[in-house]
Structure 1
Amino acid sequence: MLTLLTYPPAFGLFSASPFCVKAAYMLQLSGQAWQRSDMLDARRMPHRKLPVLRTAERLMPDSDGIRAWLEAQGADFDAGLDDVRKGQSRALIRMAEEHLYFQVVMDRWANDEVWPILRDTFFAEVPALIRRPVSSAIRKSVLKGLDAQGVSRFSESERLERVECDLQSISAFLRQSAFLMGDEPTSSDLSVGPMLAAMRATPAETRLTQRIRQDKLLCDYIDMIDRTISLP
């Protein structure tokens, strides 16, 4: 049986990581028998991050790598889409994973209201005596990465203006059909849906969580994916 190595459940989600949720959705749609195995410390994993899929032959890192492996076994996450729709799907995936994701990280790791909750959730395995210095050092590294990526250089209003353009683009698709590419979930939904869900689930009332929670179209979409692809 396949085993998905994933970050544990958090904030009411299958996992705190939208990429782990994406991998779980893909496994569920693939029809393969699988189970989860939770971990917090991914330093010994390929790429030093999760998700990772344990197959009979190897450890397959990264949600895109997992997708490629599942497709090689016969899964088709874009069944019925022509080349143009597949291209649109790919663009939506990149928008979610290369832009919206960093807004989630910023909303969580750079927010002093959220940080104590994250610290006790993500670093629960670290002995309490050293949890604060260890987690603070990692937080400092994450914030440095956000600065290098560029997202933290914008003001909150500038950041949210950029996010709004993405959310309006997603909504334009959803006004035409139940899912982004039609009446059934395809690969873009498996990335965009978990990213929006992560935004909504951040354990504090931020301007970004408010934006998602107050949008009925986006909330209905998040919930529909969860109902359609029911995870164990």
Structure 2
Amino acid sequence: MLTLYSYPPLFGVADNNGYGLKVFAFLKLAGVPFKHEHIFDASNAPRGQLPYIVDGEHRVGDSDTIIAHVSRKYGVTLDAALSPARRTTNLLITRTLDDLYWVMSYSRWKDGRYWHQFRDALKREHPSLTDEGLMKAKEFNAQRYYYQGIGRFEPEAAMARGIADLAALATLIPPHGYVHGDKPTEIDAAIYGFIANIYFYEIETPLKQFVISHGGLAEHCRAIHAAVSI
């Protein structure tokens, strides 16, 4: 059976990282059986990043590469009816989520207004974590943010960038239903991976305040959450 390796849960979602939760939701919506192993150590992962899957002889990393592999091997048809224009829209949404990822991560590991609450929540839900280990992770992430660019932003400017991403997503999600109609597709799983890690996050960041205040985003998140929690 396929095994998904990803970060552990937090605040009631199956993975506290948007990419791992995206793959989890995709596998659930696609009806592909899998085991889910929660880990912090990514040293055995392709490219040294989570999530990744082990599927027989295949070890596959990167969320989009995982989804492509699973779709081919298991004949997943979630996107079978999509037009080329809608597939292009999906790519643009995916790249917007990639940008949002950095702001979400910044809000947890770098923004001094929320870091201590995030640290304490991780320690509460995962007692094996130590202050020393978390500080090393914080320092490592600070380097990543600096070289990516978001780390050169002041907190308010960083949050404004994330809110702009969320505002763009909000215009694409209908008040009821999913991005491309009455049934969820791959892009709905991707959006859920990130929005759930904001909506269910128990720390009141500007990102969470925006999602809560925009009913379409929140309703979409709740609908996918219900579908993948079965």
Give the Cα–Cα distance (whole angstroms) in 1 for the partners of residues 125 and 134 of structure 2: 9
The more displaced of 159-168 and 1-10 is 159-168
CA shift at 1:68, angstroms? 1.4
Question: Is the alpha carbon distance of 1:116 and 1:30 closer, same or farther for their aligned partners in structure 2, counting shifts above 3 Å?
Answer: closer
User: The residue matched to 1:113 in structure 2 has which SS?
Assistant: helix
CA shift at 1:197, angstroms? 1.2
Aligned residue in 2 for 1:113: 116
Q: What amino acid does structure 2 have at the position aligned with 1:75?
A: V
Q: What amino acid does structure 2 have at the position aligned with 1:77?
A: L
Aligned residue in 2 for 1:213: 212
CA shift at 1:121, angstroms? 5.9
Q: Where do 1:78-89 residues align within 5 Å?
A: 78-89=79-90
Task: Say yes or no: does 1:92 pair with 2:62.
Answer: no
Give the Cα–Cα distance (whole angstroms) in 2 for the partners of residues 79 and 220 of structure 1: 25
What root-mean-square deviation, in Å, do the aligned CA atoms of Structure 1 and Structure 2 show? 2.1
CA shift at 1:116, angstroms? 2.4
8 Å CA contact 1:170–1:180 kept in 2: the answer is no
Aligned residue in 1 for 2:13: 13
Aligned residue in 2 for 1:146: 145
Q: How many residue pairs are counted as aligned between the two chains?
A: 226
User: The residue matched to 1:41 in structure 2 has which SS?
Assistant: coil
TM-score by length of 1: 0.87
Give the Cα–Cα distance (whole angstroms) in 2 for the partners of residues 193 and 169 of structure 1: 15
User: The residue matched to 1:5 in structure 2 has which SS?
Assistant: strand
Q: What amino acid does structure 1 have at the position aligned with 2:3?
A: T
TM-score by length of 2: 0.88
8 Å CA contact 2:53–2:59 kept in 1: the answer is yes
8 Å CA contact 1:107–1:202 kept in 2: the answer is no
Q: What amino acid does structure 2 have at the position aligned with 1:95?
A: T
User: The residue matched to 2:228 in structure 1 has which SS?
Assistant: coil
Q: What amino acid does structure 1 have at the position aligned with 2:67?
A: R
User: The residue matched to 1:211 in structure 2 has which SS?
Assistant: helix
Structure 1: gaps (5+ residues): none
Give the Cα–Cα distance (whole angstroms) in 2 for the partners of residues 103 and 23 of structure 1: 20
Give the Cα–Cα distance (whole angstroms) in 1 for the partners of residues 220 and 12 of structure 2: 17
- Percent sequence identity over aligned pairs: 23
